[in-house]
Structure 1
Amino acid sequence: MNPLFVKDSLKAFLLEDTYYSDITTDSICSNRPAKAIIRAKEDFVLAGSIFIEPLLKLMDEAFCVELFKHDGDSVRAGDAIAEVESTDRALLYIERTCLNILQRLSGIATKAYTFADILKPYKTRITDTRKTTPGFRFFEKYAVSVGGGKNHRMGLFDAVLIKDNHIKAAGGIKRAVELARRGVSFTTKIEVECSDIGEVEEAIASGVDIVMLDNMSLGQMKEVVSLFRGEVVFEASGNINEDNLRDIAEIGIDYISSGSIIHHACWVDINMKLE
């Protein structure tokens, strides 16, 4: 985790809310010493607590944060997550930004944990996608890992994923893979999205590392895995939910990718109260 990236991102989040100033707080508060408790109001898996300290540091160098719960912990309604000592002004400046991060990331971690827990008896692992909030991807993917999920590629820069539009642009899977191999390092893995058995066969013959079975039926996936087991890594994607995870895992799929663990995750309820 690059601390410079984290600092710059947190600063941007804080500036979005405060811009020139917090006119309410600046009118009322006078930089007196103050203490606040961050507390859970429902049950969830915590994520984002590691960002409380660097966020507060942007407002006050002389502060104290005591964490009672850490990222990955199961939190119960009423549990104190952290005690924060600073000035009244600093605490009120960062309150909403801090809670937004904790509530959003904890919701994602909780959703990811639910999926990962269902898959525990199997070799299959749940992974995220690039369906993330612009500007917040790193944090959302961090929350997935906290919840027990795996991260797919972070962006367009760290892995090759040839999708249907790439295949059309190149004129076919084989040609797309050949062009990709020429354009990237030999250390870079190549994945191809396939929608039927014929495409899977062509992708494997082209020497890909990972085959994504996109929106295939259980019957199609069973046939593919039985024919090509062990030749590549298989990823299932499309219409993934908690009801069909086990059925897909039982086929022997290596990874199941789901955007819903991020974009369908509900915020959890957390508050911050001055003492």
Structure 2
Amino acid sequence: MTAVLETAQIRPVVVAALAEDAPSGDVTSQVFVPADAVATADVVAREPGVMAGVEVLTVVFAEVDPQVRVVRHIDDGQEFAAGDVLATVSGPARAILRGERIALNLLQRLCGIATLTAAHVQAVAHTRARVVDTRKTTPGLRVLERHAVRCGGGFNHRFSLSDAVMAKDNHLALTDDITAAIRAARAQIPHTMHLEVEVDRLDQVEAVLAGGVDTIMLDNFSLDDLRAGVELVGDRAVVEASGGVRLDTIGAIAETGVDVISVGALTHGVRALDLGLDVRISRD
């Protein structure tokens, strides 16, 4: 079951976005739309996808005007088809028009992430590999974007730099003895903290494993080297593949036997899904 995205996680993003979009109010609606006009609007899918962040609609319109009512017709993690009505919004017309773009901007991006993630998950469904995200998220939107990954059936990597030790090439650039460096790092962290180390060559694997890691990341390895790496590591650590993973390559990567495949493109290379708000305005 997909975890619920809480209002407290969404609201700071929405408040900042609304302030950016109309710092002095929506002047267009003020001069063209009567103050007493009411509207009903359908959030309609222009293409198929997977829902993520539907609660964003409620938070956006509640922030604009508590009189706006949002009825959701689909839950996070559910698939939808082109033409499906995903939610219905009703209330003061000016408020609906004020919140329209922010609501769609966020929902389109989150649904795009969920849909892209679902495609990657489906491509590895015949293997044991997990599809996970990375820290390549939009600044300020990480909690929302990572929720969208889960809606698409993926998993989350560490949330922040504070959550786990993850040594990459830049961290180890001045290290002559990788094994000793890893052991020293292990001695400094709590026993509950995960320790992962990236390698970019097969001949580094044994030295890293000797240090006592939980996960070893095989970065930008060929398929043959991934297979060799998986065999070499065995059950001594979790094996993660990373680097330039695409939808057309992830299946073959998963078939090498890796446990985890991290895909930065899930969040940094995503296309917003095409959703629209079809508005009908009337007078009270």
Partner of 2:171: helix, strand, or coil? helix
Counterpart CA distance in 2 for 1:2 and 1:43 is: 25
Q: Do the aligned partners of 1:47 and 1:71 also contact (CA within 8 Å) in 2?
A: yes
Matched, 1:54 2:59: yes
Offset of residue 62 of structure 1: 2.5
Alignment length (residue pairs): 275
Q: Specify the code of the residue in structure 2 equivalent to 1:9.
A: V
Counterpart CA distance in 2 for 1:81 and 1:121 is: 31
Offset of residue 168 of structure 1: 1.5
Q: Do the aligned partners of 1:112 and 1:147 also contact (CA within 8 Å) in 2?
A: yes
Task: Pick which of 23-32 and 120-129 moved more.
Answer: 23-32
Among 87, 96, 108, the alignment partner of 2:92 is: 87
Offset of residue 2 of structure 1: 5.1
Counterpart CA distance in 2 for 1:111 and 1:143 is: 10
**Deviations for 1:105-160, whole angstroms, at most 9, x for unmatched residues?**
11111110000011111110111111111122221111111111111111211111
Q: Do the aligned partners of 1:45 and 1:73 also contact (CA within 8 Å) in 2?
A: yes
CA RMSD of aligned residues (A): 1.6
Aligned to 1:44: 49
Counterpart CA distance in 1 for 2:81 and 2:233 is: 45
Counterpart CA distance in 1 for 2:23 and 2:140 is: 17
Unaligned runs of 5+ in 2: none
Identical amino acids, percent of aligned pairs: 37
- Runs of 4+ aligned residues of structure 1 deviating over 4 Å after TM superposition are 169-172
Counterpart CA distance in 2 for 1:170 and 1:7 is: 44
Offset of residue 196 of structure 1: 1.4
Among 7, 25, 28, the alignment partner of 1:24 is: 28
Q: Do the aligned partners of 2:9 and 2:143 also contact (CA within 8 Å) in 1?
A: no
Aligned to 2:218: 213
Counterpart CA distance in 2 for 1:272 and 1:248 is: 39
Q: Do the aligned partners of 2:7 and 2:59 also contact (CA within 8 Å) in 1?
A: no
Unaligned runs of 5+ in 1: none
Q: Do the aligned partners of 1:162 and 1:176 also contact (CA within 8 Å) in 2?
A: no
Aligned to 2:16: 12
Aligned to 1:132: 137
**TM-score when normalising by structure 1:** 0.94
